[in-house]
Amino acid sequence: MKIKKEVTVAVIIGLLIGAVVVGGVLRAKSALQKIESSLNSTLKGESFKADTNSDPTSLFLTLETADNQITASNKITIAGRTLPKDMVAGIVINGENGDSIIVPDELGSFSQDISLVKGANTIHVTVYQDDGTKVDSTITVVYTTSEI
């Protein structure tokens, strides 16, 4: 009789562990689907915003780097979109550790790694055209060595 009790307890424990694993997998799958649908709706919104520019030569700046983010890295990539390089004089990225001057590619995309100082970093991105027209945007990134 003792062996049957042990087998029964082992089977019950196995079933409980199996149920917990299956529940976790289903919950993770559901969470991933929610994240994916949220990401897709966000991306569709950005595409729609970019397509509403009625004048393809009007200066604009869209930053892809998130504002108000916290990072444990002392560098961050500032990325975004603007007019193509033949329509823009340059892009100035001003951070706490100095300025970077870059030009976008043929499609208007740009990215630049910049160094961060500990604490809050205010980063100004300004796009200039040859005639002096400019558009700018500012983001804040917090660099911390504390555990996030």
Question: Which tens digits make up the pLDDT trace of 74-112?
Answer: 999 999 999 998 998 899 999 888 899 999 999 999 999
Predicted confidence at residue 42, as pLDDT, reads 52
Strand 134-143 with 119-128, pairing: antiparallel
3-state helix, strand, coil in the chain (%, to 5): 35, 35, 30
Give the pLDDT band (50/70/90) at residue 73.
very high
Kind of pairing, strands 98-102 and 90-95?
antiparallel
Q: Identify the CA nearest to 116 among candidates 74, 65, 72.
A: 74
- Residue closest to 108 by CA, chosen among 131, 79, 76, 68: 79
The sign of the CA dihedral 71, 64, 115, 97 is negative
- Give the tens place of pLDDT for each residue, 1-60: 556 888 888 888 988 888 877 777 777 777 767 666 666 555 444 443 444 445 667 899
Is the dihedral angle over the CA atoms 38, 39, 40, 45 positive or is it negative? positive
Asked whether the predicted pLDDT for residue 65 surpasses 90, the reply is yes
How high is the pLDDT of residue 21? 78
Residue 30 confidence (pLDDT)? 73
pLDDT of residue 11: 87
pLDDT at 25: 72
pLDDT at residue 49 in the model:
42
Alpha helix stretches (DSSP H) within the chain:
2-51
Tokens of 70: 């916290």
* Position 61 pLDDT exceeds 90: yes
Residue 140, pLDDT above cutoff 90: yes
Q: What is the pLDDT of residue 66?
A: 93
